[in-house]
């Protein structure tokens, strides 16, 4: 299985359950690994056969900046749905974290996998 990835994509959004979190944008960070057979893109050197990570990043940035979820879990599920449905990704592994959300910790968050490994 080939993996196309995006590492430490940082986006500002409203996220959290506390009153102050509903008023101030916070940074979230994404790590995204996506299954994609790269052989045709490598053979042809043609972007049409590649998984366009720039398009995926732009779509996720727009979605996340406009969102106002309470839980990181909900945000993660929506991100996974968008990537799988809109970009035909059969399997993904996603890490969503909130840097600085917990005192004495670099970040906190969740990791999910969705879909079947090819």
Annotated catalytic, 98?
yes
Q: Among 25, 54, 93, 98, which one carries the catalytic annotation? A: 98
State which residues form the domain around 88: 3-115
Taking the CA atoms of 8, 11, 15 and 21 in sequence, report the sign of the dihedral they define.
positive
Q: What is the pTM of this model?
A: 0.94
Check if the beta carbon of residue 100 is closer than 8 Å to that of residue 29.
Answer: no
Q: How many domains does the chain have?
A: 1
Q: What is the pLDDT along the chain (118 residues), one digit of tens a residue?
A: 899 999 999 999 999 999 999 999 999 999 999 999 999 999 999 999 999 999 999 999 999 999 999 999 999 999 999 999 999 999 999 999 999 888 898 999 999 999 988 7
CATH number reported for the structural domain that contains residue 63 in this entry: 3.30.1130.10
Check if the beta carbon of residue 12 is closer than 8 Å to that of residue 29.
Answer: no
d(CA 15, CA 20): 10
Q: Token pair of 4, please? A: 């196309």
d(CA 39, CA 83): 20
């Amino acid at each position: 299985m080939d993996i196309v990835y995006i590492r430490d994509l940082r986006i500002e959004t409203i996220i959290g359950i506390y009153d102050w979190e509903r008023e101030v944008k916070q940074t979230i960070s994404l790590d995204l690994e996506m299954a994609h057979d790269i052989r045709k893109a490598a053979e042809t050197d043609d972007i049409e056969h590649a998984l366009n990570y720039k398009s995926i990043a732009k779509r996720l940035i727009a979605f996340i900046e406009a969102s106002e979820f309470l839980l990181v879990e909900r945000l993660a599920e929506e991100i996974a749905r968008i990537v799988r449905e809109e970009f035909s990704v059969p399997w993904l592994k996603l890490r969503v974290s909130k840097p600085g959300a917990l005192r004495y910790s670099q970040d906190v968050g969740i990791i999910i996998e969705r879909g079947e490994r090819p």
